[in-house]
Amino acid sequence: MQDIRLGDVTISAILEHQKLGLTPEQLFLGSDAETARRHYAEMEPFLYDAETGRIVLAFQSFLIRTPKNIIMVDTCNGADKLKDKIVWDTRPWLDRFHQLGLTFADVDFVLCTHLHIDHTGWNTRLEQGRWVPTFPNATYLFQKREYVYWQRAAETGAKPPRHQDDIWQINCLPVAEAGQAELVEGAHEVDAYVSLLPTPGHSPGHYCVHIHSGGLEAIALGDLAHHMLQCREPGWSTPFCWDPEMAARSRMKLLSEAVQSRALLLPTHFPAPTAGRVTADGERFRYHFHEA
């Protein structure tokens, strides 16, 4: 994604990697291959693998530079995490971050839309065998409901099915122990340009990030939608969702509001050019990539 200028704010994507995910029938509850194929036929071909039907998934952070703060939204999978299970190259993310002219010390806030592994990885890094916050001067804002849910799961061992072990312990706890975690509730305002927009369902305290400047709006979506198919079929949630029906309601509500506001949407897992806007099509939505 090219850098986007929104009034006085600049938004940049930091891509970690991109891969083929599951097929729609595997990923979306209540979906079927036939319906997915019909929607695919109207979509850009880089969004799916024509041969297998698997979706293309990007993993990326968004860096928001306002006149006041440098704000990192979601921190991908990171380095040295669950080493034996998932292997990826960490250089593209690091290179892109440094290309933006930044050091870790420059980041003022880290926002995690939710606390799944692919949104919290660079929260911490290994330093001499210890997990330390990657961004030494940043305040990390966690939705209290989300944080407490994963903390409890970690402490009681009651891990929700389909979620990896130790994410909270290695991606969140070291931040809290360093005194850099702030637990917030609801539509928290980060600065005059950026605020949190609660959109629960995918996880208990999932939020989107609302950005506004010069009469323009953008919204970083986190996992409100994993694929453009969910604009055509907003009722399709995933088995990874904490409450699939609530996730669908949050998706429907936010996309309906984005039709009215013409907000530019930044969905984490949509491949480049990523950003786009939605228009209404009855109860469904059409996603149109933003022309840079």
Peptide bond into 273 cis (omega under 30): yes
Q: Are the C-beta atoms of 186 and 180 separated by less than 8 Å?
A: no
Other CB atoms within 10 Å distance of the CB of residue 160 = 11
Binding mask 148-167 for Zn ion (x = CB under 5 A): --------------------
Q: Which is nearer to Zn ion, 16 or 223 (CB)?
A: 223
**What sign does the CA torsion over 250, 255, 261, 265 have?**
positive
The DSSP 8-state label assigned to residue 259 in this structure reads H
Q: How far is the CB of 243 from Zn ion (least distance, A)?
A: 16
Q: Which is nearer to Zn ion, 65 or 81 (CB)?
A: 81
- What part of residues 81-140 is at the interface with Zn ion (CB under 5 A)? 118
Q: Which is nearer to Zn ion, 146 or 223 (CB)?
A: 223
Three-state SS at 58: strand
Q: In whole angstroms, what is the distance from residue 280 CA to residue 5 CA?
A: 25
The DSSP 8-state label assigned to residue 160 in this structure reads P
Q: How far is the CB of 222 from Zn ion (least distance, A)?
A: 7
Other CB atoms within 10 Å distance of the CB of residue 54 = 17
Other CB atoms within 10 Å distance of the CB of residue 12 = 19
Q: In whole angstroms, what is the distance from residue 234 CA to residue 251 CA?
A: 7
Question: What residues form DSSP beta bridges with 60?
Answer: 15
Q: How far is the CB of 230 from Zn ion (least distance, A)?
A: 13
Q: Binding to Zn ion by residue 16, rule CB under 5 A?
A: no
Q: Which is nearer to Zn ion, 6 or 224 (CB)?
A: 224
Q: How far is the CB of 111 from Zn ion (least distance, A)?
A: 14
Residue from 16, 146, 217, 223 in contact with Zn ion (CB under 5 A): 223
Token output for 79: 């380095």
Q: Which is nearer to Zn ion, 57 or 258 (CB)?
A: 57
Q: Taking contact as CB under 5 A, which single stretch among the options 39-47, 91-99, 136-144, 221-229 is the one that binds Zn ion?
A: 221-229
Count of residues of this chain found to bind Zn ion when the rule CB under 5 A is applied: 2
Q: Taking contact as CB under 5 A, which single stretch among the options 34-42, 135-143, 167-175, 218-226 is the one that binds Zn ion?
A: 218-226
Q: Which is nearer to Zn ion, 118 or 217 (CB)?
A: 118
Q: Which is nearer to Zn ion, 16 or 118 (CB)?
A: 118
Q: Taking contact as CB under 5 A, which single stretch among the options 5-13, 85-93, 101-109, 215-223 is the one that binds Zn ion?
A: 215-223
Q: How far is the CB of 29 from Zn ion (least distance, A)?
A: 16
Token output for 285: 């939505």
Q: In whole angstroms, what is the distance from residue 128 CA to residue 123 CA?
A: 16
Q: How far is the CB of 75 from Zn ion (least distance, A)?
A: 11
Q: Which is nearer to Zn ion, 139 or 203 (CB)?
A: 203
Cα distances (angstroms) measured from residue 291 to each of 31, 215, 229, 249: 30, 19, 20, 29
Q: How far is the CB of 246 from Zn ion (least distance, A)?
A: 17
Among residues 1, 23, 24, 28, which one has the least CA distance to residue 12? Answer: 1
**Interface residue list for Zn ion (CB under 5 A):** 118, 223
